[in-house]
Amino acid sequence: MFLSRSMCFSAVRNLTVSSGHTRQFLCHTQEGQFSLLIREPDQPDNAKSLKVAIVGLPNAGKSTLANQLLGKKILLDTPVLSFLLSRHNLKKSFTEDPSKCLKEADLAVVLVDVSNKWTRGELGYVMLDCLNRNPTVPSILVLNKVDLLTNKSILLTITEQLTEGMVNGKRIPNVKWSEKRPYRKSIIRNLENSETVCRDGLEKPHGWPHFKEVFMLSSIDEKDVETLKKNLVKYAKPGCWQYHSHVVTDRSPEDLCINIIKEKMLELLPEEVPYCIRPEIELWKISTDGVLTVSVKLNATRESHKRLLTGPKNHTISRICIQAGQDLMKLFMCSVRLSLVPMLRK
């Protein structure tokens, strides 16, 4: 369960590279977004492009990093409950998705939350299998949320473990840990029936010895993301741009609105409730003075879920509405009037 959602939300993003700063737009109408998407790319003569796959465990910060790189809150990373996985038999497809994602990418960014002491010491056999299945795709390791560590000295140990003591084909200098562990030349490609990944009978590896670089990100320092972005550019390859430089996302404004509402429900509603409520846009209107008016039905299948959604004296749904409305204003850069209507649909 803990691996599946991260793989589903591994996203291939296009990173266009240009010498100047361009203004990027998020249209708040389908017509405007469509016209923007079909505009001929304004690429320079020496155009380059880069497809980046961001992979990692749930809550590692994949969506946050992607949004920071894009400069807009576009992606939403939602955890999946174990009962949903078993009910819909999603595990196999979820673990297959990252391998397909990496296959289409020019660069893999493996994101690890170093504040999680339970998962920071190893990449996991599914992740290792995905990397091993795509050996021609260069990969970098990004250690996220380093500001949450009180003892920064363990970052070296974590790096040693996740890289097997090797970075860019060279052994990390002055690393006693990596000297004690024999270097593994191969990893079994099919790991479905076994967690033992070494052909030579050695203990399973914790990391990937083929990372090109290692970066560390602080959740409170935007300079770290800018440094990472500048380093990503050097992996760009000569190629045509897929979209005009003004395009931020190919998703519709309605989809972005729905995702923001889902995010707020995930933050404010308990357990399985947010997964059982289906948002449905009823009204999307732009006034002559540029105000966006949106009305969304929140369809619940149980009366108990509807009560939890509204909360005492409509307190919960009011918080969802206020927070979602604020995010929509930041996203579309206009005034937004958002109304949420709880409905019972059996």
**23 — phi, psi (to 5°)?**
-85, 135
pLDDT at residue number 278: 95
Whether 205 and 97 map to the same domain: the answer is: yes
> What CA–CA distance (Å, rounded) separates 199 from 38?
50
Q: DSSP for 212-228?
A: S-EEE--TT-HHHHHHH
- What are the structure tokens assigned to 35, written together? 């016209």
Asked if the structure places residue 243 within a domain, the reply is: no
Asked if the structure places residue 244 within a domain, the reply is: no
Contact predicate 265/274, CB 8 Å: yes
Domain count across the chain: 2
CATH number, position 304: 3.30.300.20
> What CA–CA distance (Å, rounded) separates 326 from 346?
31
Contact predicate 55/127, CB 8 Å: yes
- What are the structure tokens assigned to 30, written together? 């389908």
Whether 33 and 108 map to the same domain: the answer is: yes
Asked if the structure places residue 245 within a domain, the reply is: no
Give the type of residue at 18. S
Whether 226 and 257 map to the same domain: the answer is: no
Contact predicate 344/306, CB 8 Å: yes
DSSP 115: T
Asked if the structure places residue 8 within a domain, the reply is: yes
Of the candidates 17, 18, 19, 37, the one whose C-alpha atom is nearest the C-alpha of residue 27 is 37
Whether 217 and 311 map to the same domain: the answer is: no
Residue-level pLDDT, tens digit, the chain, 346 residues: 233 222 222 233 334 333 344 455 577 777 877 887 788 888 888 888 888 999 888 788 888 898 888 777 766 655 443 333 333 343 444 444 677 788 888 999 999 999 999 999 999 888 898 899 999 999 999 999 999 998 888 999 999 999 999 999 998 876 554 444 444 444 434 444 434 444 443 356 689 999 999 999 997 788 899 999 999 999 998 988 888 888 878 888 999 999 999 999 999 999 899 999 999 999 999 999 989 999 999 999 999 999 999 999 999 999 999 999 999 998 888 999 999 999 998 7
Q: What is the pTM of this model?
A: 0.70
Work out the angle between the directed axes of helices 62-70 and 222-233 (0-180°, nearest 10).
70
| Residue that is last in its domain, among 238, 261, 282 | 238
pLDDT at residue number 201: 39
> What CA–CA distance (Å, rounded) separates 208 from 23?
38
pLDDT at residue number 94: 42
| Residue that is last in its domain, among 238, 268, 296 | 238
Whether 179 and 135 map to the same domain: the answer is: yes
> What CA–CA distance (Å, rounded) separates 125 from 195?
6
Whether 155 and 216 map to the same domain: the answer is: yes
pLDDT at residue number 240: 87
> What CA–CA distance (Å, rounded) separates 263 from 337?
18
Whether 29 and 105 map to the same domain: the answer is: yes
CATH number, position 147: 3.40.50.300
Asked if the structure places residue 121 within a domain, the reply is: yes
Asked if the structure places residue 247 within a domain, the reply is: no
Q: Domain range holding 84?
A: 4-238
Whether 9 and 51 map to the same domain: the answer is: yes
Asked if the structure places residue 333 within a domain, the reply is: yes
Whether 192 and 287 map to the same domain: the answer is: no
> What CA–CA distance (Å, rounded) separates 64 from 62?
5
Whether 54 and 185 map to the same domain: the answer is: yes
pLDDT at residue number 192: 41
Whether 110 and 189 map to the same domain: the answer is: yes
Q: DSSP for 18-62?
A: -SS----B--SSHHHHHHHHTSPP---TT-EEEEEEEEESTTSSH
Whether 230 and 272 map to the same domain: the answer is: no
Asked if the structure places residue 128 within a domain, the reply is: yes
